[in-house]
Structure 1
Amino acid sequence: MANETNGRHLKECILKSRYREQLVLTGDKIRMDADVMKGFFGIPLQSILDHVETLLAEPKVTNCSAIVMVGGFSESPKLQEHVQDHFPDMKIIIPEEAGLAVLKGAVIFGHNPTSIAERVGKYTYGERISHLTTNNCTHSRLNTKLDDNGNMRCFDIFRIHVKIGQSVKLGEEQLERISSPLYDTQTSVGFEIYASSKPTPVFVTDPDCSKIGSFSIPIPDTSLGKARKFGTTFLFGGTEIEVKVVDKATGKVTKRTVDFLG
């Protein structure tokens, strides 16, 4: 690889580098000073400490008094030492086989989903909607155009149901949002579900947004036209999102799941 990249043997690369006094090539092995090896950990260690500091500054964890270290990297004495030194007032808990904690948690959750009562949203979840443009509307004109009724509408709006970082109880219905058909003669209404890594996305076309599911509900009776209403509710449970849509005219309930792993 050294030859392919630099056009010279690895030993020659070492001799011409600023690490020539700290590295020795012996056979097919490189021996290095401990300080060089420790330097590999600098950026990841600092990133973890900064991230934990950011989390501890959140109002919801004001009274937090302990840090539980899990995952393979948590078994590193170097990381343990840095966390203990950086957060001297916190109780640092390092369980046995910390690297298996996530795996064991997944197995327990698979056998008994109710063992985890609450989750924190990894993304902001919502649906794609449009609405009539008003004088107070601040949406970009690039997303504004005439619909088939001759009315100006803002399209591709991201209507938020759950924000990133929000705590949601498993199986608990979130706030219901009401939608209506765009046209009187519409024979079905479509729902597109989106996720975003931002807390307050504006449009589903934003770079940080991605479509994670879609479905359509037929409207066999169009007599109510645009006055027909549908209530959309998100439910979180297990490894999937369930989206419930209630036809307010008939009371019919339609449920669709969106796989987190898909």
Structure 2
Amino acid sequence: MSENSSEPFPSHSRSSSLLNSSSPFMNLQNLPQTAQYNVENTSNKDIRVVVGVDFGTTFSGFAYAYKSNPSEVVTNDVWPGQTGQFKTNTALLYDDSFSVIEWGYPALAQEPQKKSKGANKIRELMKPVELFKLYLGNLDPDEEPPLPEGLDWRKAITDYLRCLNKLIGETITTRWPGLHFPSNVLFVMAVPAEWTDESKGLLRKLAYDAGMLEELNSGNLEFTTEPEAAAIHCIRILNEHALTVGAPFMIVDCGGGTVDLTTRAVLPDRRLSEITIRAGDFCGSSFVDKNFLKYVAKKVGIEAMISLRDNNYGQLQYLVQQFCSRIKHSFNGNPDEYMTKDIDLERTCPAIMKYVTGDALKKMEEDEWLLELDFETVRAMFDPVIEKILHMISHQLSACGGNCMAIFMVGGFSENHYLTWRVRHAFGRFVPTIAVPKHPIAAVCRGALQYGLYMSTIETRVLKWTYGTDSFRPWTPADPPERRTPTGFITVFRPIAHRGTQVAVNQRFTYEATPILRDQSMMTFNVYVTPFHNAYFCDDYGVKLLGRLSVQLPPLPIEYQQNRVIDFSLCFGKMEITAIATNRQTGEVYQSSFDLDI
């Protein structure tokens, strides 16, 4: 960055202070364009209905309530093609032009029909898609789920949210015909704990594209983490387990893609305080399915599985469905209660027979295309996934000094008895209560709704990242010579809020900054984030640009130049972050509002 008064400059740090604020939150996200905006009014005075949304990897659901009657909570159980279920499948069915034919449960692949070749051929031309939410996480490329050639995962997420939003709108306006949708609705979306600010910002953009928001940075969308939402939902059962004020408890949210953990303590007035850094990893139930497919690949050959995936994905999806419904869901880890089961590949995915060659073909023909799944084989599919979950729980217990009075397991995977048995077996000696609340699959969407109705429920959060900005200071001989600017300055990372800090809701971290040149007409604050406790330079390993905020500096007489002070703040507490800059001389307030570089 050149030192020219016509260019935006980072600030020159003077001092720091800690202030409190009730400012609303807006979006601060991925590599934005430099921009400047006055603070917008983001009050939710027109909100009449709150909707908690659990957009999950394998299943999605929502709950809603009228804001003035929060005691009447409705969890949706009417979906395309099914009723009585709290969630529907996070799945889409496309035609050849990638127009959505079906979504949810009807989008799942059907059993191939031997006598209806024409129908099978038509079905094979359709493109079932699932697991696309995983692309918002930081997965390794080889872990990313397959998508049909030519389909961008952002389109899949947008299409699914558009379908979900249409159902939400129809459901709510049927109940309250006078409601303006979506302007009278506050959406609260629960996201995995390990998601970055970039992921949340991208989800906001895709929700906007799907029609859930009338403006990108609308206050009609809030975020909470999945374990936080589950913790809010579990407040109502604390008395059942004799947990008193101050008692720490852990939420383990076991979903299809991720498992998220948070450790909380109950404060007076049924509010929650976060006492450890929330954690998450990709070890949900879909990774058991992935281990099943690896087992199939050992039998038929990896090349055959790749061909099946690329050319007959619907049959591959149906094969997984059969594994889940017949084996995975009921597996409880007790060898005395398990009976070896066979899966007939000729019936479930006949297309694979034309891809198998060599010794694998000979062996499968000898076995009459039957896969024999005995107890040890199935347990080997579960154990690597469960071991990761146990490791995460152990790490959380260590982080809170082993002081945990209860573990509540929620999410669809928590209904698997083998998983819950392993957790109780590993930690039952140290944690008095390990329980699965009623309807654990609906815990996240219901908790997200409660968060939207009573945002004061969350008293504190623990920062997962260190946030800072770039700051000029005079160069010293101890600094790297190549970083010295022509005017004798050096740009360094200035931490504003450190990882592991417990922050109150709507708490501001503020410092004073001044321009480095007398005739400077603009100051730019580049906001960075790092997973480490601190950094020295803004290009250190792990440091990532999150966004930038520019502030206009009107000309002032020379005698007042030294008094041009900007109060720069980062405001935390909700799941999005606000950068705010206040010019003391003019009283102008600037707040971040960024476009995503996607």
Task: Report TM bin, short chain.
Answer: 0.7 to 0.9
The 1:164/1:172 distance shift into structure 2, 3 A limit, reads same
The 1:67/1:233 distance shift into structure 2, 3 A limit, reads same
The answer to whether residue 412 in structure 2 is matched with residue 72 in structure 1 is yes
Could you tell me which residue of structure 2 aligns to residue 188 of structure 1? 522
Inter-partner Cα distance in structure 2 for 1:165 and 1:71: 26
The 1:11/1:199 distance shift into structure 2, 3 A limit, reads farther
Could you tell me which residue of structure 1 aligns to residue 425 of structure 2? 85
Letter in 1 for 2:533: P
Could you tell me which residue of structure 2 aligns to residue 123 of structure 1? 465
Letter in 2 for 1:54: H
What is the deviation of 1:46?
1.8
Could you tell me which residue of structure 1 aligns to residue 303 of structure 2? 5
Q: Structure 1 residues 5-14 or 245-254, which shifts more?
A: 5-14
Inter-partner Cα distance in structure 1 for 2:411 and 2:537: 36
Inter-partner Cα distance in structure 1 for 2:460 and 2:580: 19
Describe the SS at the equivalent of 1:57. helix
Could you tell me which residue of structure 1 aligns to residue 275 of structure 2? none
Could you tell me which residue of structure 1 aligns to residue 484 of structure 2? 145
Question: Could you tell me whether the CA contact under 8 Å between 2:549 and 2:579 is conserved in 1?
Answer: no
- Please identify runs of 4+ aligned residues in structure 1 that moved more than 4 A: 1-4, 24-27, 257-260
Inter-partner Cα distance in structure 2 for 1:105 and 1:210: 31
The 1:240/1:134 distance shift into structure 2, 3 A limit, reads same
Could you tell me which residue of structure 1 aligns to residue 502 of structure 2? 167
The 1:118/1:62 distance shift into structure 2, 3 A limit, reads same
Inter-partner Cα distance in structure 1 for 2:545 and 2:514: 21
Could you tell me which residue of structure 1 aligns to residue 231 of structure 2? none
The 1:171/1:258 distance shift into structure 2, 3 A limit, reads farther
The answer to whether residue 389 in structure 2 is matched with residue 48 in structure 1 is yes
Could you tell me which residue of structure 2 aligns to residue 234 of structure 1? 570
Inter-partner Cα distance in structure 1 for 2:449 and 2:515: 43
Question: Could you tell me whether the CA contact under 8 Å between 1:242 and 1:258 is conserved in 2?
Answer: no
Percent identity, aligned pairs only, is 23
What is the deviation of 1:258?
7.1
The 1:26/1:109 distance shift into structure 2, 3 A limit, reads farther
The 1:30/1:212 distance shift into structure 2, 3 A limit, reads same
Question: Could you tell me whether the CA contact under 8 Å between 2:402 and 2:430 is conserved in 1?
Answer: no
Larger fraction in strand: 1
Please report the RMSD computed on the Cα atoms of aligned residues, expressed in angstroms. Answer: 3.3
What is the deviation of 1:220?
0.6
The 1:141/1:9 distance shift into structure 2, 3 A limit, reads farther
Letter in 2 for 1:50: H
Structure 1 gaps, min length 5: none
Describe the SS at the equivalent of 2:507. coil
Describe the SS at the equivalent of 1:41. helix
Inter-partner Cα distance in structure 2 for 1:11 and 1:100: 48
Inter-partner Cα distance in structure 1 for 2:447 and 2:416: 21
What is the deviation of 1:84?
0.9
User: How many residues align structurally?
Assistant: 245
What is the deviation of 1:105?
1.9
* Bigger RCO of structures 1 and 2 (CA < 8 A, at least 6 apart): 2
What is the deviation of 1:186?
0.4
Inter-partner Cα distance in structure 1 for 2:391 and 2:519: 55
Inter-partner Cα distance in structure 2 for 1:36 and 1:207: 42
Superposition pairs for residues 235-254 of structure 1, below 5 Å? 235-254=571-590
Inter-partner Cα distance in structure 2 for 1:232 and 1:39: 53
Question: Could you tell me whether the CA contact under 8 Å between 1:240 and 1:258 is conserved in 2?
Answer: no
TM score, norm. by length of structure 2 = 0.37
Could you tell me which residue of structure 2 aligns to residue 31 of structure 1? 372
